[in-house]
Amino acid sequence: MEPRRSSSVKWVLLPQEYCKLALEVFETQFVDRLDGAQLMIEGRIYREELIVRLGFLRPNTIRQINFEASVDFDLNKENAFELLNFLMDPLASWLESFLETKEIEFPPLWKKHRFKNRDVYMQYSTVNSKLEAEADRLLGLEHGLLNADEDGLTEEEQKDQPLH
């Protein structure tokens, strides 16, 4: 998952509990229209940016359709969980639109949208999260060679860390 801001370098993963709860909400809301597709939610918290990815993976395919949302974030002034919850609405709108039309006419690069008096940046991608994680594992990248945070924790170790 690539950040929108060039200053976004060090990050922590969204807490697994949060992703699980958000996923349950999406699955409940769209249960009748998923046709066996799997949804996934993942994201990162940077000092100046939050990113959330809503993934949609049809059965027996490797092409994962992702709707990604990013918003500017001030760690000292804003509540990360409130902003994460805020991002769920535009992501749900994009998924709704996709399920209705079955077409993909979304921007492949970050594009600014105004949503509830705030700038939200959205993009579409086809990165398969599970394949990417497996490739990282095979290359040894899960051991923190590329994505250790400032405490030296890898992505896997960050999953068990509380959000500060």
Has residue 18 got a pLDDT over 90?
yes
150, with CB counted inside 10 A (0-12, 13-18, 19+), is exposed
Could you state, in order of their start, the residue ranges of all structural domains in the chain?
11-127, 131-159
pLDDT tens per residue, range 26-51: 999 999 999 999 999 999 999 999 99
For residues 18 and 118, what is the distance between their CA atoms, to the nearest angstrom? 22
> What pTM was estimated for this model as a whole?
0.82
pLDDT in tens, 76-113: 999 999 999 999 999 999 999 999 987 767 778 999 99
pLDDT at 158 (0 to 100): 59
**In the chain, alpha helices (H):** 16-30, 80-101, 129-139, 155-158
What is the rounded average pLDDT of the residues 123-138? 88
